[in-house]
Amino acid sequence: MKQKFGKIKILKFKGKDKVKRYDFKRKPVRPYLLMWLIHAVVWLMLLRRKHKVNYVGNKPKGPALIYATHAAFNDFYMLFHAVKTHNINYVTAIDAFYDMSTPLMRLIGAICKRKFISDMNLMRNLKICVDRKTTFVIYPEARYSLDGTTSYLPESNGKLAKFLKVPVYVLNLRGSYISDPQWNKYKQNRMPMEGDLIEVVTKEEVNTLSVNEINEKINKAFVYDDWKYLKDCGNILTYKERATNINAILYQCPHCKKEFEMEGKGTTLTCKACGKVWDMLENGELKAREGETYFSHVPDWFKWQKQNVHEEVFSGKYSIEEVCETFTLPDSKGFYHHGKGTLIQNSNGTILKVNLYGEERTIEYSGTSLESVHVEYNYKGYADMLDFSIPGDSIWMRPYRKDFITKVSLATEEIRELQNQNLKK
């Protein structure tokens, strides 16, 4: 019986020497030819929804570096609305090239990268952008926000600004997440969106400020909470599936403490272990039908789970070994399927035991080498998946356990924090 993988394109393996890998050395394309079309599409997509951009400081004029928040595809509409230039490039993950095709992505200025891995080719391409006096955009969270608030920000943001010697901006968007959260595929394209385009470091300051001072300015401008923005907008979350699959991010019950027993359906969130039920109101708040609510604000629930994972990791109790379906994405043409592999993770790091292209591999990430891990909820209608990068390839793993990937993502960041602290001792 043929195995089904949703809408994931599976390539036939014809031998290890036939596997093509993406060439990251290719220079970025100036997107002049299609930018008029992009701006027209953006105008149409934003036509029926309330939106605005607030400018703080000077507007960017290339060369300039823009760090942008990342919650949904809507981010790109607001980016091109905020930065009205035909000379722009932006860093995009290789799976987006797979989604949209490499020729199209390159023509509209995208620069390809694998997530959470060092890439000297990217540095070279960004330097090319500087020489061309281009405005270029980076999404430093390197993934969509899981809970609608600021995700992990790497310390390398300030180092990159110092290396490129260009002014730094932050595009902080609100409303994008709440209208299209990754755990819920019911898009609400008429909900309002707002953004602040902030000049955080001038061209003069980038030469005089330290890396830490630049990071502090970036991190301060990056603070956002889409659930708070929703409350400020009023009772506008009216669609009937607003809580469907929110268990993907709220996987632990605060009443009985059981994990992976939550179920979001319609407008309710229910713990299957103890039976406690929460209703999601039209302002995004959660309210228990009986007894204590515990957390009415979704990010507070998420932070409580993160703290629980923190305690597991730092106490040395955290340990998983999970059988996963394994895929690779060496190029942007499609995925190869490699059968079952094993994901092992504990307080020291992460290990993948996989068979790639007919060869048994053990891939080890020390606690400090893996900044985070990308997660996809119900990817291409197939399943929840984790994305790990290695030189020359991306390894996608599908765990069988329900709502498992969010905890792995949180644990990966906690492991890095623990191991960094150990190095400083």
Summarize pLDDT for 325-373 with one digit per residue, the tens: 999 999 999 999 999 999 999 999 999 999 999 999 999 999 899 988 9
What are the φ and ψ backbone dihedral angles of 210, each rounded to 5 degrees? -80, 165
Per the listing, tokens 């095709």 go with: 101
CA dihedral of 391, 396, 402, 404, whole degrees rounded to 10: 10
Q: What is the DSSP letter of 412?
A: H
Contact between residue 262 and residue 272 where contact means Cβ atoms under 8 Å apart: yes
Cα→Cα distances 215→30, 102, 105, 195, 209, Å: 29, 32, 30, 20, 10
Per-residue tokens: 292 = 């204590």
Summarize pLDDT for 262-279 with one digit per residue, the tens: 999 999 999 999 999 999
What is the pTM for the complete model shown? Answer: 0.94
Residue ranges of the domains in the chain?
24-233, 246-296, 318-424
Q: How many alpha carbons fall within 13 Å on the CB side of residue 344? A: 11
Summarize pLDDT for 61-107 with one digit per residue, the tens: 889 999 999 998 889 999 999 998 778 999 999 999 999 999 999 99
Instruction: Pick 318-424's CATH classification: 2.60.120.10, 3.40.50.2300, 1.20.1050.10, 2.30.29.30.
Output: 2.30.29.30
* Distance of alpha carbon 68 from the chain centroid: 12
Residue 232 corresponds to which amino acid? D
Contact between residue 14 and residue 115 where contact means Cβ atoms under 8 Å apart: no
d(CA 279, CA 285): 8
What architecture is domain 24-233? 3-Layer(aba) Sandwich (3.40)
pLDDT by residue for the chain (425 residues), tens digit each?
Answer: 568 899 999 999 999 889 999 999 999 998 877 888 888 999 998 988 899 999 999 999 889 999 999 998 889 999 999 998 778 999 999 999 999 999 999 999 999 999 988 889 999 999 999 999 999 999 988 778 999 999 888 888 999 999 999 999 999 999 999 989 999 977 777 789 999 999 999 999 999 999 999 999 999 999 999 999 999 998 899 989 999 999 999 999 999 999 999 999 999 999 999 999 999 999 999 999 999 999 999 999 999 999 999 999 999 999 999 999 999 999 999 999 999 999 999 999 999 999 999 999 999 999 899 988 999 999 999 999 999 999 999 999 999 999 999 999 999 999 999 999 988 87
Burial status of residue 135 (CB atoms within 10 A of its CB: 0-12, 13-18, 19 or more): buried
Q: How many CB atoms lie within 10 A of CB 295?
A: 19
Q: What is the DSSP letter of 10?
A: B
Per-residue tokens: 241 = 């599936």
Q: Give the SS3 label for residue 125.
A: helix
